[in-house]
Amino acid sequence: MAKVNRPDGSLVSGKLSKKSKEVRRTRNGVEYSYNMEYYSGPASKAQKAARSLHAKICAVLNPLMSDPEQVKALEAQMKEYNSRHPLDKFLTVRQFAYEQIKRSLLDRNPVVAAKADAKTPLPRGLKMYIKPFAELSAAEIYEILKARFSVFVLEQGIMYLDEDNIDYTATHLALRRASKVIAYARLFEQPGDNTPAYDQKFNLVPSPRVLRAGRMLTLEHGKGYGRILLTRLIAEAKRQGADILRIHAQLDAVPFYRHFRFAKVGEPFTEAGISHILMERKLTSAKRKK
């Protein structure tokens, strides 16, 4: 089936009609048509915001869907999601990827103002950016991957595939001097952590929102950059409406996370040949949630 580029950058599969300027296709026995003409008339603020969001999503989605390996990994994630969400299944991988990228770009339930970051002033000459993947430049992505390789592969000797698809839907926090990343972490939602609960009448039961921190690193040790990074990470998790923040902590880093009120959960386990333990910090109290 032919693929047609729309003016907003998205791809549509189907047959293009030159007379009506529409792409028509049949999916699951239902015929769909997509108007190919670009509307350039006046638009409300909401319409402009929706178009801008869609363009950002497509900028990440289209290259992702053109890579067979990435599509295969997304299919596995979608299968797991559908098994956990029987009432909210995705029919196509593209739909699933679109929604995951969209959720990463939208702020969900911002309960704490972004000004909470100002509690930890940055040392002179350092800057920090907090961005979803779609807003990172090619140079920023390059510096992030270089820093992760330097720490996890060269320094710690972990042989693994660092690019695990989570980056597409994660929020990236990088402390940098000029263009060089010297401390980094990512914040993301892991499938299964926020599975909605249902009662016997299939009504949704409220559950705490869980976010995860990962790929925590510092390239310059003993200067307090890890503390600055984790403080900003906690503030960003609160801003995104998280009730619980979790991390797989290496055992020798447990005292560091305890200082930030993280508690151990369960028993130690081995990940990438290194002993870890799950730790979590509650960001909201039961009284506040009520």
Q: Is the pLDDT of residue 138 over 60?
A: yes
Higher pLDDT, 51 or 151: 151
pLDDT category of residue 286 using cuts at 50, 70 and 90: low
Residues 231-252: b if buried by 16+ CB within 10 A, e if exposed: ebbbbbbbbbbbbbbbbbbbee
pLDDT tens-place string over residues 1-38: 555 555 555 555 555 555 555 656 665 566 656 555 54
Domains, the chain, in order of start with CATH, read 1-41 (no CATH), 44-106 (no CATH), 114-289 (3.40.630.30)
Higher pLDDT, 85 or 248: 248
Q: Encoding tokens for residue 274?
A: 């290194």
Q: Is the pLDDT of residue 181 over 90?
A: yes
The H-assigned helical ranges of 85-182 are: 93-105, 138-148
Q: Which helix or strand (DSSP H or E) is residue 21 part of?
A: none
Q: Report percent pLDDT > 90 for the chain.
A: 36
Of 25-29, 164-168, 268-272, 285-289, the range with the lowest mean pLDDT is: 285-289
Q: Encoding tokens for residue 245?
A: 């923040």
Q: Encoding tokens for residue 55?
A: 């363009």
Q: Can you give the pTM of this predicted structure?
A: 0.61
